[in-house]
A and B are shown apart, each in its own frame.
Chain A
Amino acid sequence: MKRLLPLIFVLLGTCLSPVCGQVSTLPSSVEDPTQPVTITVNIADMDGSIDHVAALQAAVASGEDLYVWTWKPAEHPDGHPNVNGLGAQPWKDSNPNLIMTNNFDGTFSWTIVPTDFYEVSASDVFNEDIHFLVKPRDGGGYGDPDIKSEDLLVPVDPPTLPVTKVRSFPSIATGDSLVRIGSDDVFTLIYDNNYEEKPSMQGVNDLCVYVVATWTDYLGTQNTTEYAPITQVGSQSELAMRDIGQGLFQFSFWPTRFFNLPEESVVRQLEFRVLRQNVINSDDVSDGTFIYRFSCF
């Protein structure tokens, strides 16, 4: 508990800080940076005792538009359509592409798909968050008083994923239910024995998979193929999982070749069970059937 106290204070401090209240998002927590997010800033809530903020509030009161100026997770270079400012004195000439929508209630909004706008990966957004400020087109500077908000932050964090003992590679995207690979791609099942809940399966290392493919032929006819009956998988060396250390086991294969499917076949779904090669009874089979549906045909 003692270790948690500082964390709790930090979290409380973050959420209670003035900056936190000035920025809101829709959706309220940004967990998927590949989807649109609307960021809204409340100018009236900003601390008017700061000179450049007071100047910003005055600019808004006089009807000026506001623009975003952003530098993380990436800052676009000169010449880019979404560069922050234009010309030799960019701070005095914000990019019209970065104008915010005036909601006429003291708030201004900006809608982007973070990965598209910043041209970075989702993981880059998770690592860096979104850092920006808002300003009128002419933000002062170059000898004039600045007109701007304080630096603002939109935290972007992945959803807390449930820890699972089995996962795929490539992974299933956030909010998705499909493995987005094609028929000429390799699929991998990864089993983490550290999260095995069944005592009789904990610490074992002679593991293999039972696998069933659902696929369609060139006519679109659906078929289901079991590679080997579950009682015989232990004798099929090609079904063995490879121990990659630290309790992790890997089964990688090219399904089209593995099941010897006819040309132009498309794998639609794979179904797995994880079990010991020396399977005797249900004690030697990990609980659960693991099903992965495929996209990208």
Chain B
Amino acid sequence: MKKIFLLPIAILLLAITACQDDLVLDNEPLKIDGIQGNWVLSIVEMQDYKAINASNRSLDVSYVFTEVAQPTTMSFNSADFTFTYNEGDNPSFLPESGTWRFVNTSTNDWSANYPDELHLIAGGDTTELALGGPVRPQDEYLQFTIQKNCPEDNQGYGYLFKFIRQ
């Protein structure tokens, strides 16, 4: 007796679900859309790769870069893949303008969605910057590491730059 009731209910449920629209997931936001726009340098951590103690390998030196009359700014255009860098009153670590691209180093290829490096190309030179985190449209920061090295020092040091979206 119970089976007689269950069968119509199952058919009814099947009919209702069959009429629902297919579930469509939004496309993952592209990082090239996320980097588009203007950015201001807001946090700088200097990194000492040869420091013996792990606790001494990073130091916040933001105030040296931010408590200035002219801050450091960057802008990226995702339509023509151009960028500008204005060091303001700070050291000019990066080229002033040129083109950019994202790179996934594991595949050694351009990567719109899974980049781990940002390359700035200017005057035939490429500056390779390791991304410190994703830069999706909803992300507040663009962060990358500028590695520096003395010729006679194979350990080196660097700066983690964090730009805030404007």
Interface residues of A (CB under 8 A from B): 34, 115-116, 121-123, 126, 158, 161, 169-171, 173-174, 180-182, 184-186, 188, 190, 242, 250, 252-254, 256-257, 295-296
Proximity bits, B27-55, A CB within 8 Å = 1, else 0: 00000000000000000001011111010
A252 to B93, CA, bound (A): 18
- In the complex the two chains form, is B93's CB within 8 Å of A171's CB? no
- In the complex the two chains form, is B56's CB within 8 Å of A121's CB? no
Residues of A near B56 (CB, < 8 A) are: 169, 171
B152 interface residue (CB < 8 Å to A): yes
Interface hit among B4-12, B84-92, B99-107, B120-128: B84-92
Total A-B residue pairs with C-beta atoms closer than 8 Å?
A: 80
Interface size on B, residues (CB 8 A): 26
A169 to B92, CA, bound (A): 20
B154 interface residue (CB < 8 Å to A): yes
- In the complex the two chains form, is B50's CB within 8 Å of A173's CB? yes
- In the complex the two chains form, is A169's CB within 8 Å of B150's CB? no
Q: Indicate whether A121 sits within 8 Å of B52 (C-beta atoms), given known contacts A173-B155, A188-B59.
A: no
* Supplied contacts A181-B157, A182-B148, A296-B151, 12 more A-B pairs, CB within 8 Å: A158-B52, A161-B52, A169-B59, A173-B153, A174-B50, A180-B152, A184-B91, A188-B46, A253-B64, A254-B64, A254-B90, A256-B91
A213 to B63, CA, bound (A): 21
- In the complex the two chains form, is B153's CB within 8 Å of A169's CB? no
Q: Indicate whether A171 sits within 8 Å of B51 (C-beta atoms), given known contacts A184-B93, A185-B91.
A: yes
Q: Indicate whether A123 sits within 8 Å of B92 (C-beta atoms), given known contacts A250-B59, A295-B150, A295-B152.
A: no
- Contact among A116, A123, A186, A296 with B51 in the assembled complex (CB-CB below 8 Å): A123
- Contact among B57, B89, B154 with A115 in the assembled complex (CB-CB below 8 Å): B154
Residues of B near A257 (CB, < 8 A) are: 89
Residues of B near A188 (CB, < 8 A) are: 46, 59, 61
Residues of A near B153 (CB, < 8 A) are: 173, 180, 295-296
12 contacts between A and B (CB under 8 A): A121-B50, A123-B50, A126-B52, A169-B59, A171-B48, A171-B50, A171-B51, A171-B52, A180-B152, A184-B93, A185-B91, A253-B64
